[in-house]
Amino acid sequence: MTKARLLDLGVILAYLVFMAWLGLRFSRKQKTTEDFFVAKRAVPGWAMGLSLLATMISSVTFIAYPGSAYAKDWSNLVPGFLVVGVLLLTGAVIIPYYRRVVGMSAYEYFEKRFGRPARIYASLAFSLAHFSKMAFVFYLMALTINSITGWNLDLVVCGVCAVMVLYTVKGGIEAVIWTDVVQAFITWAGVLVCLGFLLFLAPGGPSAVFNLAVAERKFSLGRMEMDYTSATIPVLLVYGFFWYLQRYTADQTVVQRYLVAKSDRGALRGVALGAALCVPIWTLFMLIGTCTWAFYRLTGEQLPAYVTKADQVFPHFIATHLPVGFAGLFMASLMGATMTMLASDLNCLAAVGVEDFYRAMRPQATDRQRLRAARILIATVGALSAGCALILAHAKGDALSMWFAVSAIVSGGLAGLFLLAFLSRRANPQGAFLGIAASLLCTVWAVLTNRKLIDLGPFNYRGDDLTIGALGHLVLWIGGYLASFLFRSPARKEPDRDMTVWAWLAERRQTPRQLVPERDV
């Protein structure tokens, strides 16, 4: 290892040690599951907002966004604009509502609305989807570090996993949130440093970079055509709407952030802060990709033969043009982004596992036993995800393509299930289950025929990949509503037992000056 890489390694090790120390500081506070999963609902809104921002930034963001902008334009930024739009539509209602009806698991709501099987389905869909992505996030982070430094990929995966599991097991959600806060600032620093070098190392400086990018339409957001067979702007907007609707209404990693805040207003402000910061961060990553493209065009520098994909160009720039220490800062930021997202996933998977499954299997278990089960679950899932990342590192074939197919099947329809539950008094459990079945069948058909894994000729799905998720949500929502007419409607509920938006609106009319009464905790 060169002296330059030793300095980068020193920066990374200092960062990992600091993150582990910060997480361990909260270990003494973790006495109950209430502490471990929702931090006694006492986290400041601004910290919760920065934590939410950190959970939406991963190794995929660090590499895929610049790679996408390098290869074409800024069209993949379009779905991100919907994060603010969905927040404006749902935030003022969903956030205080969940804080009133949910204890620790987001999927308690589905049980109250449609029964235990609906909760199990939603919990399994969330768990399978998030576990399936964890190995790929790990793998992409380690592959990037390996391409920059040549360090052993297996050691990178194991080292990062060990630190992440340590502070998540010991410090609970409070440790996750405060390490997220640190990571949010590290991310900004790493991004701005890289952007500064890209702009000022290029011949002609920033003006030459921007003039060339504008002339070549590198800032374009795509085509404004009503064509659902390709990733046009309307398709990207529909995809973004349903993706963020699912995240804000049926994703434990986000809903759990609602629950840790001190008040409804603090939760709403925190979520608004996180959403407002996401778009600028994503935009900066897109700008990095465009500036990387302009840098190599302006300098005429040839890329080496092993750089064959757009995703590899930005890491190559870091390895060859960033001074010693600065590359370490970027890699520390990349590792931190991976750890914050995966630590959040681990804590949320443990919350779902304990609250939705362990409690049902062992109803007599004490809170101490549930806390121990949560810690064992975090360590086990963390080790499994690292193991899967190592398998990916040494496997051949298009594993990523298969992951997209599997994740679309196992996670489809949760936003549709929420819309069915929250918007319709007519909806009943039987209709919801038929909607779930129809959504799964439709999603499986669309994935298999779209990717030509099965050829049904004229009955193949012709839409773009990005439309499949939206299709699953719509089929569950509309199909579940129509199927509910086949069964007897539920008896008229008492106002305080009605779990729909209409009861919420009636309650707000009665108490117009309040968001909603705070949940007793």
- Dump pLDDT digits (tens) for 72-113: 889 888 888 888 888 877 777 888 888 888 877 888 889 989
Q: What is the mean pLDDT of residues 384-403?
A: 66
Share of the chain above pLDDT 70, in %: 91
With cut-offs at 50, 70 and 90, classify the pLDDT of residue 520: very low
Q: What is the mean pLDDT of residues 378-407?
A: 69
Q: What is the mean pLDDT of residues 313-328?
A: 83
Question: Which pLDDT value is given to residue 46?
Answer: 84
Question: Has residue 514 got a pLDDT over 50?
Answer: no
How far apart are alpha carbons 144 and 292 in whole angstroms? 16
Question: Which pLDDT value is given to residue 169?
Answer: 87
* 317: Cα separation from own chain's centroid: 27
Q: Give pLDDT tens digits for 200-228.
A: 988 889 999 999 999 999 999 888 888 78
With cut-offs at 50, 70 and 90, classify the pLDDT of residue 496: very low
Question: Which pLDDT value is given to residue 208?
Answer: 92
Q: Give pLDDT tens digits for 42-72.
A: 788 888 888 888 777 776 778 788 888 998 8
* 68: Cα separation from own chain's centroid: 18
How far apart are alpha carbons 68 and 74 in whole angstroms? 7
Q: Give pLDDT tens digits for 173-210.
A: 888 888 888 888 888 888 888 888 999 988 889 999 99
Q: Give pLDDT tens digits for 426-466.
A: 899 999 999 999 998 998 898 888 877 788 888 888 888 77
How far apart are alpha carbons 209 and 484 in whole angstroms? 58
Structural domains in the chain?
A: 3-394 (1.20.1730.10), 396-490 (no CATH)
Question: Has residue 399 got a pLDDT over 50?
Answer: no
DSSP secondary structure letters along 47-60: HHHHHHHHHT--HH
Q: What is the mean pLDDT of residues 352-357?
A: 87
Question: Which pLDDT value is given to residue 401?
Answer: 44
Question: Has residue 385 got a pLDDT over 50?
Answer: yes
Model pTM score = 0.80
Task: Taking the CA atoms of 169, 170, 171 and 175 in sequence, report the sign of the dihedral they define.
Answer: negative
Question: Has residue 394 got a pLDDT over 80?
Answer: no
Which alpha helices (H) appear in 25-107, and where do they start and end?
33-38, 45-55, 59-71, 78-101
